[in-house]
Amino acid sequence: MDRSSQTTGKDEKKGLIFNIQRFSVHDGPGIRTTVFLKGCPLSCLWCANPESQLFFPNLMVREINCRGCGACLLACLAGAITLEDGKRRIDRDRCDHCLKCVDACLYQSLNACGKYVGREEVLEEVFKDSVFYKNSSGGVTVSGGEPLYQAEFTAALLAGCKKAGLHTALDTTGHAPWEAMEEVLRFTDLVLFDVKHLDPAAHRRGTGVDNRLILENLMKISGRAVLWLRVPVIPGFNDSGDLIRDIADLGKRAGAEKISLLPYHEGGRSKCDQIGKAYRLPETNPPGEDLLNRLKGIVEEAGIRAAIRS
End-to-end Cα separation, the chain, in angstroms: 30
185: nearest Cα among 223, 133, 145, 140: 223
Crossing angle (nearest 10°) for helices 289-301 and 241-254: 40
pLDDT at residue 310, as a whole number? 75
For 189-232, the DSSP string reads SEEEEE---SSHHHHHHHHSS-SHHHHHHHHH-TTTSEEEEEEE
pLDDT (tens digit per residue) in 43-95: 999 999 999 999 999 999 999 999 999 999 999 999 999 999 889 999 999 99
Mark the ranges of the chain whose per-residue pLDDT is less than 50: 1-5, 7-11
Half-sphere exposure of residue 39: CA atoms within 13 angstroms, side-chain side: 20
pLDDT at residue 85, as a whole number? 87
pLDDT at residue 7, as a whole number? 46
Alpha carbons 218 and 210: distance in angstroms, whole number: 14
The kind and range of the H/E element at 308 are strand 305-308
Phi then psi for 130, rounded to 5 degrees? -55, -35
> Cβ–Cβ contacts within 10 Å for residue 227, how many?
20
pLDDT at residue 86, as a whole number? 85
pLDDT at residue 198, as a whole number? 98
- Amino acid identity of residue 78, one-letter, is A
91: nearest Cα among 106, 81, 99: 81
In the chain, the largest separation of any two C-alpha atoms, in whole Å, equals 63
**Residues 55 and 42: beta-carbon distance below 8 Å:** no
Q: Which domains does the chain have, with CATH numbers?
A: 6-55+117-308 (3.20.20.70), 58-113 (3.30.70.20)
Phi then psi for 100, rounded to 5 degrees? -65, -30
